[in-house]
Amino acid sequence: MATQAVNSELFFSTARQLRTLFDSRETSSVEVTRMILDRIEVLEPQLNSFITVTPEHAVKQAEIADQRLRGTGQEPTPLTGVPVMVKDNFSTKGIETTAASRILKGYIPPYDGTVVHLLREAGAVILGKGNLDEFAMGSSSETSAYGPVHNPWDIERVPGGSSGGAAAAVAAGECFIAFGSDTGGSIRQPASLCGVVGMKPTYGLVSRYGLLAFGSSLDQIGPLTRSVPDCADALNIISSHDPHDSTSVRAPFGDFGEGLNAGISGMKIGVPREYLVEGIEPGVRSAFEQSLKTLEDLGANITETSLPLTDHALAVYYIIAPSEASANLSRYDGVKYGLGATDASTSAEATEAVRGRGFGEEVKRRILLGTYALSAGYYDAYYKKAQQVRTLIRREFTDAFLQFDVLVTPTSPSVAFKIGDKTDDPFQMYMNDVCTIPVNIAGLPSISVPGGMSEGLPVGLQFIGSQFGDATVIQAAAAYERSTSWHQRHPTI
């Protein structure tokens, strides 16, 4: 291995740059994997990005990937030999999967989820499982039973959530790509706060089979990367129709990176005024306004528009998501797997004891909210009404995309906040997803890219596309990324 090729800069390389080193034989997947594992060991006491690291498993995968890269076996893919992380709510055969909850302590799935299977088939090297808010319920990665994740830009601050471990690991050079889940912003908001790229694809484009469900009509798996081209490559690998998932679409799965170099000259971009919410930090607003100038300089036609139902999206989400969580989490009773209660005299007492000890406060809060919304006498007033407003929000977006190719907004109203600042105020915590939640409600594709700095911390820029307009979203994000250098900035941890 050439010493010059493997220095501190390698940890912040893109996956495409890493593959160039593999193809030129300057280094190997095994060598890079071992270096990354050493880096994880050094950084984890500060970051807590991982719940589980699987070094032996990773090196074995890297050895197989090197053979493939040298022409033995299957044709390599863009992710062959690339060290990646998967969020710890993805089922991984033979590897503990906890969703960052005490209730699943010791649970080892007997199967790989579809995305994990596709990553293995592609030759990616899975390093371990990423830390998250418990059952993906949170915006700061502070509700994990395994302790909070720390932002590598400032370890006293949160990385965002719920895919905070994934975002922090990519930002800190602990992996090259990570895969998270996004129910109301859980990929894009931490990507924004950690200064990386994060994408939520169109609902149904990526199989949810093997993802521990939170809100089944909202959840979607997607990549966190250091560049938009890496994001396109990753999405090409994980998107496919899956008969195991009834919501998996039979869309024509083309190359999501086909427009990477097409530019945005003449593209119609809408700026919904409702996303510049009251309380947005001045530094975030300033960065966003500068980003709009950049897009205009690239030849895009920027027009302000209005999506008035956006103001109702947060309320709709916090009825639908907890309701679905209440139903999904009812399976955790301590009987088949995870935490058990051997000291109870009846099954009802055992279930009550397990859930009392196993679920954290935020999860309990959302289960109670959802159960209330679904209860007799309140279903029509809350859940049914929320679904009706959801339909109106979808229509509003559909009408907007008759005029625009993409919409652009801030990803988060703030930069990363201090750990503990918002844990006592759930409403303020929920407000962190005000710019991302509408996208999940409508099932649309959206990507966050580094879009500036404020107070020395990253600011995210969000592009939103029409249903199955994932390639257009990537095209717009790639053009912006090429014309700026924000994605090339890395924390000094």
Q: What is the pLDDT of residues 195-207, one digit of tens each?
A: 999 999 999 999 9
Q: How far apart are CA 125 and CA 242, in angstroms?
A: 22
Helical (H) or strand (E) element with 364: helix 361-374
Distance between first and last Cα of the chain: 25
CB 104 within 8 A of CB 338: yes
**pLDDT of 354:** 85
Q: How far apart are CA 425 and CA 399, in angstroms?
A: 35
Catalytic residue status for 265? no
Q: What is the CA radius of gyration of the chain?
A: 21
**pLDDT of 7:** 59
Helical (H) or strand (E) element with 371: helix 361-374
CB 262 within 8 A of CB 480: no
Phi, psi of 107 (to 5 degrees): -75, 120
The closest of 183, 129, 197, 173 to 12, measured between CA atoms, is 173
Encode burial over 110-125: b for 16+ CB neighbours within 10 A, e otherwise: eebbbbbbbbbebbbb
Q: Which fold has domain 1-493?
A: Amidase signature (AS) enzymes (3.90.1300)
Token pair recorded at residue 292: 């709009």
Q: How far apart are CA 273 and CA 275, in angstroms?
A: 5
Q: Please state the rounded mean pLDDT for residues 88-99.
A: 98
358 has a pLDDT exceeding 70: yes
Q: How far apart are CA 356 and CA 262, in angstroms?
A: 54
Handedness of CA 362, 363, 364, 370 (dihedral sign): positive
Phi, psi of 423 (to 5 degrees): -70, -25
Catalytic residue among 162, 163, 291, 446: 162
Compute, in degrees rounded to 10, the torsion defined by CA atoms 321, 323, 326, 329: -40
Catalytic residue among 91, 140, 186, 227: 186
Of the chain, the percentage scoring pLDDT greater than 70 comes to 98
Least confident of 29-43, 153-167, 320-334: 320-334
3 has a pLDDT exceeding 70: no
Token pair recorded at residue 240: 């496919």
441 has a pLDDT exceeding 50: yes
Q: Place 2 in a pLDDT band, splitting at 50, 70 and 90.
A: very low
5 has a pLDDT exceeding 50: no
222 has a pLDDT exceeding 70: yes
The closest of 120, 117, 133, 73 to 360, measured between CA atoms, is 133
Phi, psi of 108 (to 5 degrees): -120, 110
Q: Please state the rounded mean pLDDT for residues 86-91.
A: 98
Q: How far apart are CA 407 and CA 463, in angstroms?
A: 6
CB 173 within 8 A of CB 39: yes
Q: Please state the rounded mean pLDDT for residues 459-467.
A: 98
CB 175 within 8 A of CB 438: no
339 has a pLDDT exceeding 90: no
* β-bridge pairing 301-305 and 446-454: unpaired
Q: How far apart are CA 54 and CA 51, in angstroms?
A: 10
How far is C-alpha 173 from the geometric centre of its chain's CA atoms? 17
Q: Please state the rounded mean pLDDT for residues 140-161.
A: 98
**pLDDT of 342:** 67
193 has a pLDDT exceeding 70: yes
**pLDDT of 426:** 83
4 has a pLDDT exceeding 70: no
Catalytic residue status for 60? no
- List, as one string, the DSSP characters of 117-173: HHHHHHT-EEEEEE--SGGG--SSS---TT----BTTBTTB---SSSHHHHHHHHHT
Catalytic residue among 87, 129, 200, 422: 87
The predicted model scores a pTM of 0.96
Q: Please state the rounded mean pLDDT for residues 101-118.
A: 96
Q: How far apart are CA 300 and CA 287, in angstroms?
A: 18
Q: How far apart are CA 465 and CA 477, in angstroms?
A: 11
**pLDDT of 73:** 79
| Residue 473 exposure: Cα atoms within 13 Å on the Cβ side | 30
Catalytic residue status for 87? yes
Q: How far apart are CA 337 and CA 335, in angstroms?
A: 6
Kindly report the average pLDDT of the chain as a whole number: 94
Token pair recorded at residue 382: 């809350």
**pLDDT of 264:** 98
Torsion region of 70: left, alpha or beta (phi above 0 gives left; psi -120 to 50 gives alpha)? alpha
Q: What angle do CA 139, 327, 426 make, to 5 degrees?
A: 25
**pLDDT of 251:** 77
Q: Place 1 in a pLDDT band, splitting at 50, 70 and 90.
A: very low
